[in-house]
Structure 1
Amino acid sequence: LAMGLSLRGFDVLLIDGDIQSTSLDWASVREMADLETLFTVISVPKNNLAKEVTKLKTKYDFVIIDSAGRQSELSRLAIVACDIAIIPNSSSPFDAWATQATINNINEISSYRTFASYFLLTGIAKKTKVFDEVSHWIKENGGDIPLLDSTIALRTAYARSGGNGQTIYDFKDDQGRKSQKGIEEMDALIDEIFEKESLGL
């Protein structure tokens, strides 16, 4: 997302809000590979996440928070800080069930501040029964949180690009080919969020 927005000319900040420091580790690998990063990657004091984001977002077009992958106080703080919450879910029923705590947090926080939230299915194979089941579960249990039409498929390119300090936009396979379908997926996600949020950008 950060790279896709940067390639459109936006000034983007990526905040590592995960205790595992995945984004910072990725940025270090990218730097060691001597790859240009078009956006800024930082960490902030986790207990002051919302306060820090409030200060920083006036300096950038977009601030993306890479939050904890599972329900935690850090993910709650990220929800408190955000204008748009994107909740990724794989096509595993266990992942969907674990989302219930996040839904509860969003419902609670929505009672005192306004922000948008969406479910995003990732690492999925669309034409499968489990995909249909998880989609149905989210629509039945997600309350007012809509499911995005965009999906992110299970692709080797995503895993390999991250491990190499790359993004889907600059990854090339062993034959030197880009993942055009992966790029199209990410562009479609950005386009859909822009349209739904009437960003007019």
Structure 2
Amino acid sequence: MHLNLKAKGMIFTVGGIKGGTGKTTISTNLAVWLSKQGADILLVDADEQESASDFTAWRDETHKGELGYTLVQLTGGAVRRQIEQLRPKYDHIVIDTGGRDTASQRAALFVSDVYLLPFAPRSYEIWTLSKVLALLNEVQPGRLTPLKIYSFLNKADTRGQDNGEATEVLRENAELNYVDFSVVNRKAFATAASKGLSVFEAMPHDEKAVAELEALFHHITK
């Protein structure tokens, strides 16, 4: 199914305050998924760990330059300045930020339309909620229009009570707009990335991984 995304011109930031929540997996898969809808995509690596850049370099090497998107590295205030200039040149922009409250992430939030907040279902992940809320309380008043926020479980367990407990806490914070499109911690994501691929491209398909991401991505782009 091809979506009519070109007319929307959206900027997505994938972020948070805690590392290890799978932000780069979401960012790179979103960039590839959007490109497969026929859109011209810019992926911005605004994370000092440069994981999106590493993935893209390996993808470029293994697939002879057929990336499906353009990648740039930006940090600090340059994130806001450069994206404002680059926005007219691309259909959509995906920004991968680090797992800390950085100048890069704050700059990204001022120019983005959508803020994606993946949370892993562990107590120490949920403890960062107050920091995320404090960040949003500082950023939202400085924007012309409210930032659209989607929080969701990423690297979720296949079973156990941790998912439910994390979901309950996220639901209690209405500002985070929890959406029930969990992405389970599946081997398929690491296997695909090791080949420079998204889960949409890796063969054989992990139908569950594909279905989970498609459900999330359709929801945030509708």
Give the TM-score, by structure 2 length. 0.80
- Which 4+ residue blocks in structure 1 deviate beyond 3 angstroms? none
2:72 alignment partner in structure 1? 42
Q: Which residue of 1 aligns with 2:13?
A: none
1 or 2 for the larger relative contact order (CA 8 Å, sep ≥6)?
2
Name the residue aligned to 1:178.
205
Looking at structure 2, the residues matched to 11 and 71 of structure 1 have their Cα atoms a distance apart, in angstroms, of: 29
- Any idea what the Cα deviations from partners look like across 1:118-177, whole Å, max 9, x if unmatched? 10210002642111111111122x3422111211111001112223221111122xxxx1
State the one-letter code of the partner of 1:157. A
- The reply to whether residue 167 of structure 1 matches residue 194 of structure 2 is no
Question: In structure 1, what is the equivalent of residue 155 of structure 2?
Answer: 123
1:1-201, aligned counterparts within 5 Å? 1-34=30-63, 36-113=66-143, 114-125=146-157, 127-140=159-172, 142-172=173-203, 177-195=204-222
Aligned residue type for 2:157: A
Contact 1:71 1:99 in 2 (8 A): no
- Partner Cα separation in structure 2 for residue 151 and residue 53 of structure 1: 29
How far is the alpha carbon of 1:9 from its aligned partner?
A: 0.9
Most deviating of 76-85 and 7-16? 76-85
Structure 1 residues 98-107 or 82-91, which shifts more?
98-107
Q: Root-mean-square deviation (CA), in Å?
A: 1.6
Summarize the Cα distance change of 1:7–1:184 in structure 2 as closer, same or farther, 3 Å threshold: same
Distance 1:126 1:80 in 2: 35
CA distance in 2, matches of 1:160, 1:70: 26
C-alpha separation in 1, matches of 2:182 and 2:83: 27
What amino acid sits opposite 2:97 in the alignment?
S
Rounded Cα–Cα distance in structure 2 between residues aligned with 1:137 and 1:5: 30
Structure 2 counterpart SS, 1:58: helix
Mapped to 1, the partners of 2:101 and 2:193 lie a distance apart of: 23
Q: In 1, distance between residues paired with 2:70 and 2:155?
A: 26
* Deviation for aligned residue 1:185: 1.4
2:214 partner amino acid = D
The offset of 1:23, in angstroms, is 0.8
The answer (yes or no) to whether the contact 1:124–1:131 under 8 Å persists in 2 is yes
- Does structure 2 conserve the Cα–Cα contact (< 8 Å) formed by 1:67 and 1:75? yes
- Give the letter for the 1:88 counterpart: P
Name whichever of 104-113 and 85-94 sits farther off: 104-113
Three-state SS of the structure 2 residue aligned to 1:150 is coil
Stretches of structure 1 lacking an aligned partner (at least 5 in a row):
196-201
Contact 1:26 1:165 in 2 (8 A): yes
Following superposition, the deviation at residue 45 of structure 1 comes to 4.0
How many residues align structurally? 190
